[in-house]
Structure 1
Amino acid sequence: MMDSESSNKDCLGWAARDPSGVLSPYNFTRRNGHGNSKYPLVPGHEIVGIVNEVGSNVQRFKVSDHVGVGTYVNSCRDCEYCNDGLEAYCVKGAVFTFNFIDADGTVTKGGYSSYIVVHERQLYQNFPQRAYLQRF
């Protein structure tokens, strides 16, 4: 028989119950606390991962690059704020990593999903590559 501490460590998804792994704002969204949740809902922002596919116009990244994503995955990329690199202030509305409608009409799914589509302007690569992924 395993004690509860051991069984928690062996449980797939244990980190998702860790208070540092799931932020309290996710609870509002998951439970439709603001009245705008779009189900099925997959939360998650401040994401790290490996690029597994790139579009034909992508110039800054290639398959197998280790990247990070903040809170936004897209914006209009044409207003004065976007042109100044301040996409969070996009006049047409920055697109958050989850529970937002993207330019193509789909609802964004966050970092807990199997994959996420992000515009290259929202990807970052200025950190030690592989250091953060080898531990998982």
Structure 2
Amino acid sequence: WYPNVARVEHVQLVPSRVHNHEGEKYRLITRFPIIGDVPLDLVIHTDDQPKQFIYSVDSWLLETNLIELKDISTNVNSTRIEWTVYTRRRSILFQYMILPFANFYKNQLVREALFSLVMQVRDL
């Protein structure tokens, strides 16, 4: 459901007695036009289902992703999903020249991913 991800492979699983996925490592095989397949490592940091999920990816953005489900008090049948992306890059060049474009690109990916996820959930 996530754009450009061709497949996901388990690298390190946690013991089966653990009920969440904290500490698990995966390899994302991401398919980019012209470049081809690029492997990225993904590590799950927090898996507080169903409210919060934090993971990091070793992409050029050095990103940490936080996905939170928030209840909407005005509508019982609605849930709000907030997806926040942080970067560990701190250079001034990156912060002022590259980050605005990366932010725009990542926002488009997240919107497409959430839309695709909603469509798949509706089809269940």
| TM-score bracket relative to the smaller structure | under 0.3
With normalisation by structure 2, the TM-score equals: 0.26
Q: Report 1 or 2 for greater relative contact order, CA contacts < 8 Å, sequence distance ≥ 6.
A: 1
Higher helix share: 2
Larger Rg: 1
